[in-house]
Amino acid sequence: MKRRPRDIGTAADKPCKVCGKTRPKGRTTYCSDECSSLGLAEQHRARQERRMQACQRCGGQKEFGTRGSRFCTECRRLHGDTVQQLEQERSRRRQQRVLEGKLADGKRIKYRSKDVPDGQKWCARCQEFRPVTSFPLRKEGGKPAAYCKPCQRFYNTERRIKLVFGLTWDEYELLLACQDGKCAICGGRPRRHMLAVDHDHKTGEIRGLLCSRCNHKLLGSANDDPARLRRAADYLEEFAAREVFGDPKYVPGTAPSDREVA
């Protein structure tokens, strides 16, 4: 299939629209490629000028000095607030869809300062709005931190367990589940503090999770010496005072006869 010529006509029809010379055969608008480029550029400038000078709402002439604005003064006065509100609502809905998509994918999101309610701050870890007073202050600048106080405390503990003991949080939870959430020695459940990771100070092997009392006071006072702990257990079962005195000796006011009288 042959391509149809772009300009078809006779040279005697009309002169060139740019230079006014006689057009050669086969051209109907311009006499040469140079004039064609100049003419198309002029048409483009004219369209741009009309677009910039005409109001996009009413089509009327915009006042001098409003170049760059889409609407004239009257349209801005009548519809400016409505247009701004619509643009803000579209932006809010678009941001909301993005945030919902990130939450659905399990990603953490960040809020801009203008989207946060007054007196609150967005916690980047628990993904909730919390009062500003629930956030610790940074040492430099005194501004609130990115995490709230509970999340910051949990983050510090998780990071310390990883750096000091080499345990990830999943491994810590697995070890805690095997101990039924209790101390491996006394069987007590943690109330205020998490169970500490106990390890052998000589070999570095992790032994289990203990409460602070069993970890520091019991094992720490015994210097991790099993023989000393066995002697302590024997001491609690067999009193040395009975072998010396023959009969049990009680602190005043605690003898069985005193308790019966009371």
Number of H helices, E strands in the chain: 9, 4
Whole-model pTM: value is 0.48
Residue 13 — pLDDT band, cuts 50, 70, 90? Answer: low
pLDDT above 70 covers a percentage of the chain that reads: 76
- pLDDT tens per residue across span 156-180: 888 888 898 888 888 888 888 898 8
DSSP 69: -
- pLDDT tens per residue across span 35-91: 888 888 888 777 766 655 677 777 776 665 544 566 777 776 665 555 555 566 577
Closest to 209 in 3D by CA, of 235, 167, 172, 240: 172
CA 107 to each of CA 127, 131, 142, 177: distance values in angstroms, whole numbers, following the listed order: 10, 23, 28, 27
The predicted model gives 196-223 an average pLDDT of 87
Average pLDDT value for the chain = 76
Residue 102 — pLDDT band, cuts 50, 70, 90? Answer: confident
The predicted model gives 131-136 an average pLDDT of 85
The predicted model gives 175-199 an average pLDDT of 86
Structure tokens of 108?
């953490």
pLDDT above 90 covers a percentage of the chain that reads: 0
* CA dihedral for 242, 247, 251, 257, sign (positive or negative): positive
Q: What integer pLDDT is reported at residue 9 of this predicted model? A: 46
Q: What integer pLDDT is reported at residue 81 of this predicted model? A: 53
Structure tokens of 17?
């629209």
The greatest distance separating any two alpha carbons of the chain, rounded to the nearest whole angstrom, comes to 144
Q: What integer pLDDT is reported at residue 69 of this predicted model? A: 64
Residue 7 — pLDDT band, cuts 50, 70, 90? Answer: very low
The predicted model gives 140-152 an average pLDDT of 82
Q: What integer pLDDT is reported at residue 67 of this predicted model? A: 47
